[in-house]
Amino acid sequence: MAMQLFFYHSCHKSTAICYTFYMEIYTQTPQLPKGICKILLFLFSNFLRYGAVIVTLGIWWLYNWYYALSTFLLAFILIGILRSKLLHSSIPKVQQEFTYADKEIAAWYLYRYVCPSKVE
C-alpha cells in the first residue's frame, strides 16, 4: 500500500519543448472478500447513507413530527461527525484530500480494522 511515483515525459514535435509530469499513484479502495465482510460492508455503508432517515422515520412513527425533525437534525450532524472520524482514521493520509462515498469509507474502515487478515 505504498505510494508510488509515475513519470510521464512528453515532447512537442514542432517546438522541442519537453514536459515531465510527476504523478502520484494512489492505492485504490480495497475490495473485501465475499462472506461476512461483504455483508458488513453493505450494512455499514447503508447505515452511513440512510441512518439519519431511518432513525427519523422511527421517531416519527413512535412520537410526532416535532421530535422527528429535531432527531433528523441531530442524527444528520452525528452521522456526519462519525463519517469524518472514520475517513480520517482509516484512509491513508496522502489520500484524505479526495472525496469518498460512504461505501468507500466503509470499505477502508472494514479493511483496516475489522477484517484485515481475510483480505488477500
Instruction: Answer whether residue 21 is part of any domain.
Output: no
Instruction: Answer whether residue 23 is part of any domain.
Output: no
Per-residue confidence (pLDDT) for residue 113, from 0 to 100 = 85
Look at the block and give the residue holding cell 491513508.
Answer: 92
Per the CB < 8 A criterion, the answer to whether 7 and 20 are in contact is yes
Q: Is residue 119's pLDDT more than 90?
A: no
Q: Is residue 7's pLDDT more than 50?
A: no
Per-residue confidence (pLDDT) for residue 1, from 0 to 100 = 44
Q: Other CB atoms closer than 10 Å to residue 24's CB: what's the count? A: 10
Per-residue confidence (pLDDT) for residue 25, from 0 to 100 = 59
Range of the domain at 64: 29-114
Q: What global pTM score does this model have?
A: 0.70
Instruction: Answer whether residue 11 is part of any domain.
Output: no
Per-residue DSSP letters for 44-67?
A: HHHHHHHHHHHHHHHHHHHS-HHH
What is the distance between the alpha carbons of residues 62 and 3, in angstroms, rounded to a whole number?
Answer: 50
Amino acid identity of 73?
Answer: L
Per-residue confidence (pLDDT) for residue 73, from 0 to 100 = 95
Instruction: Answer whether residue 69 is part of any domain.
Output: yes
Instruction: Answer whether residue 36 is part of any domain.
Output: yes
Q: Where are the beta strands (DSSP E) in 1-120?
A: 4-11, 18-25
State the chain's mean pLDDT as an integer.
80
Instruction: Answer whether residue 19 is part of any domain.
Output: no
Total domains, the chain: 1
Mean pLDDT across the stretch 29-36?
79
Per-residue confidence (pLDDT) for residue 92, from 0 to 100 = 80
pLDDT, one tens digit per residue, over 33-63 is: 778 888 998 999 999 999 999 999 999 999 9
Instruction: Answer whether residue 1 is part of any domain.
Output: no
Instruction: Answer whether residue 53 is part of any domain.
Output: yes
Query: CA dist 86 to 6, 27, 37, 64, Å?
Result: 29, 17, 17, 32
Per-residue confidence (pLDDT) for residue 96, from 0 to 100 = 76
What is the distance between the alpha carbons of residues 79 and 72, in angstroms, rounded to a whole number?
Answer: 10
